[in-house]
């Protein structure tokens, strides 16, 4: 097994699938010669040729439309949206078109597209580069939304996303691209979409989270352990659809829960998780389910970023409120 | 079922060639600083010529300082401008104060010369809210991050001028990559449909990050994209400040006379990386191409032209360089003096009236910040 960063694991997943399936195509702005602005597609054009891995003109809606058209031709497109803040330019192709193809064809056709895109805060990007917009996407039935938090998960989830017959939005947190390495198996392996992963077991409180906040939550759990609290950390991995079974089993065990997201508090994934817990496990709860989230303002590039983003201290503070309720 | 090939109804090659042939490059000063097109010479006084040179020298220094400040972590987001001075500054120089500029993120110099204080440009780069608080009477928008979005807004600003009967134009910039966006076509088409006083500039610096313009479009020139919108289009040597000035001045003239919008392609080059955030041009450009374009440098040719007229010398140039360095230092000091950005500042400006849900969060962050 090799030690890989998350971005290397992502490149490796695309390599595996380009090899496995001649219908897989990788394209987007600067993904060819340049290997992507983060080097996620580094070396792929060299290895598989310009027919399979190619640069597009600069137009996100064009990229999305091209993907839907290629899907209609039986291809399995893996387009890159250079930064997820640019998704507004391609919303129609994703939510208005790809997500509705099955609906429009009575279930006969589907759009097996994996829209890959970097997002997330803490890396000093300009406006429109760091926003967490997964809640916006999760509101659209017909698409799945996947967010890995480790190199191992990233590779297995990306292979599953590419093989999935429905459109998947695969969001890669920029801060996690090169923040640590992990053992990642060579060749192919898959991690099922829609399945959460218990990243740390515990008995006193469930911390449900995803993306970069998994690491803040794990850090918080470690601190809480020093004070005698045993926290369980659940990494959703797929934020739409969510793995209700794993969440509920954990909450029934601990009786307490918080949900942690990097996105703003209003609407969003965390609100949905809280609602599902209340729907299904309210009698198991010893305290209200609280949220840790960013404040309801526009993402501040980059001056107030550090104060704005939720961190492990916020997780500890909120967890304690619930633990001592 | 037709089994026989019919006679072609369309001579595609002929049609395309007829379009391409309309778009030759306007040049007034060649690389040696010689006037090659006397008839097109704009009406500029000696003082104006000197002022344009001063601005180009100043802005080259500003670019060098901005790059080094970015490397020191004292400036935030920065997209280098060296090579594009004629394209950016001569176009702004052809405007009047009442005209409105909608820049892309590389076009900070034109809005600074149009009146945005330099310290605010620095604050914008750092992501400080005060950077965007454009002073009254300065007719600029904040640099656009979404490629092409400013083009559609330009149609709106221009239509606003028309509705209010104001004799002014809206001018916008994008790059060669930007001409692929839907917004690019929509902006020009709307402005054309409303006969609005707009000037659209595409600075063709040949690369959209790494993608060469040849892969961006099948069109031989970008200028010809104006044809489909039914508006005037022209290609100019974007390394020639006089050609850029003449084209924009002429477009302005026609726009305020109610003769509609113009699209201008400037042929130029960015010497530096796309932005300071890790782009490496050696991955996609050759040193030969860099050298070829550096020979066309706008400062070099304009300096030669002015020296021959006795309007420029080394002493003048050094004066400008020193002045630029001083003013940049002062602007930086002023930017440093801005109060540290707080989350509550963001909350205060999110809505005109803060909703109750946000007021609750405001209390929490306010308590944290006062610790």
- Searching chain B, which residue's CA lies closest to the CA of residue A127? B145
- Catalytic residue of the set B65, B274, B285, B303: B274
Question: Residues B205, B168: contact at Cβ < 8 Å?
Answer: no
Predicted confidence at residue B8, as pLDDT, reads 76
Pairing status of strand A231-235 against strand A197-200: antiparallel
Choose the closest CB to A295 out of B128, B215, B361: B361
**Cα of A299 to nearest chain B Cα, Å:** 9
pTM: 0.96
**Cα of B166 to nearest chain A Cα, Å:** 32
Residue B368 — very low, low, confident or very high, per pLDDT cuts 50/70/90? very high
Average pLDDT, stretch A132-141?
A: 97
Closest CA relative to residue A307, chosen from B355, B358, B341, B361: B341
**Cα of A38 to nearest chain B Cα, Å:** 9
* pLDDT tens per residue, range A153-203: 999 999 999 999 999 999 999 999 999 999 999 999 999 999 999 999 999
Predicted confidence at residue A1, as pLDDT, reads 80
Average pLDDT, stretch B31-50?
A: 98
> Which residues in chain A have their CB less than 8 angstroms from residue B180's CB?
57-59, 62
Predicted confidence at residue A54, as pLDDT, reads 98
Average pLDDT, stretch B9-22?
A: 92
Element (H, E) at A221: helix A213-226
Cβ neighbours around B271 below 10 Å, total = 17
Q: Report phi then psi at A226, rounded to 5.
A: -60, -25
- Catalytic residue of the set A124, A129, A173, A215: A129
Predicted confidence at residue B157, as pLDDT, reads 98
- Catalytic residue of the set B54, B206, B252, B270: B270
* pLDDT tens per residue, range A253-271: 999 999 999 999 999 999 9
Beta bridge partners of A168: A114, A144
- Searching chain B, which residue's CA lies closest to the CA of residue A307? B343
> Which residues in chain A have their CB less than 8 angstroms from residue B217's CB?
57
Predicted confidence at residue B2, as pLDDT, reads 54
Predicted confidence at residue B9, as pLDDT, reads 87
Give the C-alpha separation, B37 to B22, whole Å.
Answer: 18
Predicted confidence at residue B5, as pLDDT, reads 63
Question: Residues B89, B275: contact at Cβ < 8 Å?
Answer: no
- Give the CA distances from residue A226 to residues A112, A222, A231, A314, in Å, rounded to whole numbers and listed in that order: 46, 7, 11, 17
Question: Residues A149, A234: contact at Cβ < 8 Å?
Answer: no
**Cα of A32 to nearest chain B Cα, Å:** 9
Question: Residues A196, A243: contact at Cβ < 8 Å?
Answer: yes
> Which residues in chain A have their CB less than 8 angstroms from residue B278's CB?
37
Pairing status of strand B232-237 against strand B25-26: parallel
Q: Report phi then psi at A209, rounded to 5.
A: -155, -175
First to last CA, chain B: 82
B274 is catalytic: yes
Predicted confidence at residue B96, as pLDDT, reads 98
> Secondary structure of chain B in the HEC alphabet?
CCCCCCCCCCCHHHHHHHHHHCCCEECCECCCCCECCHHHCCCCCHHHHHHHHHHHHHHHHHHHHHHHHHHCCCCCCCCCCCCCHHHHHHHHHCCCCCCEEECECCCHHHHHHCCCCHHHHHHHHHCCHHHHCCCCCCCECCCECCCCHHHHHHHHHHHHHHHHCCCCCEEEEEECHHHHCHHHHHHHHHHHHCCCCEEEEEEECCEECCEEHHHHCCCCCCCCHHHHHCCEEEEEECCCHHHHHHHHHHHHHHHHCCCCCEEEEEECCCCCCCCCCCCCHHHCCCHHHHHHHHCCCHHHHHHHHHHHCCCCCHHHHHHHHHHHHHHHHHHHHHHHCCCCCCHHHHHHHHCCCCCHHHHHHHHHHHHHHCC
> Which residues in chain B have their CB less than 8 angstroms from residue A305's CB?
127
A215 is catalytic: no
Structure tokens belonging to residue B155: 């149609």
- To the nearest whole percent, how much of chain A has pLDDT over 70? 100
Say whether pLDDT at A73 is over 90: yes
Residue A301 — very low, low, confident or very high, per pLDDT cuts 50/70/90? confident
Predicted confidence at residue B1, as pLDDT, reads 52
Any chain A CB within 8 A of the CB of B217? yes
Predicted confidence at residue A303, as pLDDT, reads 83
Complex ipTM more than 0.90, yes or no: yes
Any chain A CB within 8 A of the CB of B278? yes
* pLDDT tens per residue, range B163-212: 999 999 999 999 999 999 999 999 999 999 999 999 999 999 999 999 99
Average pLDDT, stretch A110-117?
A: 97
Token look-up 């002045």 returns B323
Give the C-alpha separation, B123 to A101, whole Å.
Answer: 45
Predicted confidence at residue A200, as pLDDT, reads 98
Say whether pLDDT at B37 is over 70: yes
Give the C-alpha separation, B267 to B201, whole Å.
Answer: 11
3-state DSSP assignment of residue A36: coil
Predicted confidence at residue A302, as pLDDT, reads 82
Average pLDDT, stretch A102-108?
A: 96
* pLDDT tens per residue, range B337-351: 999 999 999 999 999
CB contact under 8 A, A37 and B177: no
Q: Rg of chain A's alpha carbons, rounded to an integer? A: 19
């Amino acid at each position: 097994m090799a030690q890989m960063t998350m971005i290397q694991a992502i490149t490796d997943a695309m390599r595996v699938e380009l090899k496995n399936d001649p219908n897989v195509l990788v394209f987007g702005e600067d993904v060819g010669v340049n290997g992507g602005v983060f080097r996620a597609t580094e070396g792929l054009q060299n290895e598989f040729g310009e027919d399979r891995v190619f640069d597009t003109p600069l137009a996100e809606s064009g990229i999305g439309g091209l993907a839907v058209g290629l899907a209609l031709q039986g291809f399995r497109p893996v387009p890159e949206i250079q930064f997820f803040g640019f998704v507004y330019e391609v919303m129609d192709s994703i939510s208005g078109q790809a997500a509705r193809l099955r609906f429009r064809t009575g279930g006969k056709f589907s759009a097996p597209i994996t829209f890959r895109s970097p997002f997330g805060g803490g890396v000093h990007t300009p406006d429109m580069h760091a926003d967490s917009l997964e809640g916006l996407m999760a509101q659209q039935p017909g698409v799945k939304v996947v967010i890995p938090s480790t190199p191992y998960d990233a590779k297995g989830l990306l292979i599953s996303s590419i093989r999935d017959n429905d459109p998947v939005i695969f969001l890669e947190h920029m801060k996690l691209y090169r923040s640590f390495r992990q053992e990642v198996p060579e060749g192919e392996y898959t991690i099922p979409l829609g399945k959460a992963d218990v990243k740390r077991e515990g008995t006193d409180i469930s911390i449900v989270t995803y993306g970069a906040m998994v690491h803040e939550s794990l850090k918080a759990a470690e601190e809480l352990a020093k004070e005698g609290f045993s926290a369980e950390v659940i990494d959703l991995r797929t934020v739409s659809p969510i793995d209700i079974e794993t969440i509920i089993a954990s909450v029934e065990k601990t009786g307490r829960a918080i949900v942690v997201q990097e996105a703003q508090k209003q609407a969003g994934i965390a609100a949905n998780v809280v609602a599902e817990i209340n729907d299904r496990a309210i009698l198991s709860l010893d305290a209200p389910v609280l949220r840790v989230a960013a404040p309801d303002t526009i993402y501040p590039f980059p001056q107030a970023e550090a104060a704005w983003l939720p961190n492990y201290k916020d997780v500890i503070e909120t967890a304690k409120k619930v633990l001592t309720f | 079922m037709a089994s026989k090939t019919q006679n072609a109804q369309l001579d595609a090659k002929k049609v395309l060639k007829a379009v391409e042939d309309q778009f030759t490059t306007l040049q007034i000063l060649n690389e040696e600083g010689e006037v090659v097109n006397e008839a097109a010479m704009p009406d500029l006084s000696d003082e104006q010529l000197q002022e344009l040179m001063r601005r180009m020298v100043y802005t080259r220094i500003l670019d060098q300082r901005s790059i080094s400040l970015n490397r020191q972590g004292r400036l935030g987001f920065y997209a280098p401008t060296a090579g594009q001075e004629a394209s950016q500054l001569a176009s702004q120089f052809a405007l009047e104060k009442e005209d409105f500029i909608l820049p892309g993120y590389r076009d900070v110099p034109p809005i600074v010369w149009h009146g945005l204080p330099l310290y605010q440009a620095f604050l914008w780069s750092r992501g400080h809210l005060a950077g965007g608080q454009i002073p009254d009477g300065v007719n600029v928008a904040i640099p656009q991050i979404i490629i092409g979005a400013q083009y559609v807004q330009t149609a709106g600003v221009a239509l606003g001028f028309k509705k209010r009967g104001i004799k002014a134009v809206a001018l916008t910039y994008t790059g060669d990559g930007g001409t692929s966006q839907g917004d690019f076509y929509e902006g020009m088409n709307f402005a054309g449909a409303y006969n609005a006083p707009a000037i659209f500039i595409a600075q063709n610096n040949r690369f959209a990050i790494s993608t060469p313009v040849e892969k961006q479009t099948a069109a031989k020139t970008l200028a010809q994209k104006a044809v489909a919108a039914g508006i005037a289009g022209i290609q100019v040597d974007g390394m020639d400040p006089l050609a850029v000035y003449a084209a924009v001045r002429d477009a302005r003239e026609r726009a305020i006379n109610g003769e509609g919008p113009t699209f201008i392609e400037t042929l130029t080059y960015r010497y530096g990386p796309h932005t300071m955030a890790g782009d490496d041009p050696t991955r996609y450009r050759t040193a030969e191409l860099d050298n070829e374009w550096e020979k066309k440098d706008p400062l070099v040719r304009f300096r030669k032209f002015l020296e021959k007229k006795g309007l420029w010398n080394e002493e003048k140039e050094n004066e400008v360089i020193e002045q630029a360095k001083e003013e940049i230092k002062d602007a930086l000091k002023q930017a440093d003096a801005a109060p540290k950005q707080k989350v509550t500042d963001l909350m205060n400006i999110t809505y005109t009236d803060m909703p109750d849900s946000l007021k609750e969060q405001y209390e929490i962050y306010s308590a944290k910040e006062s610790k």
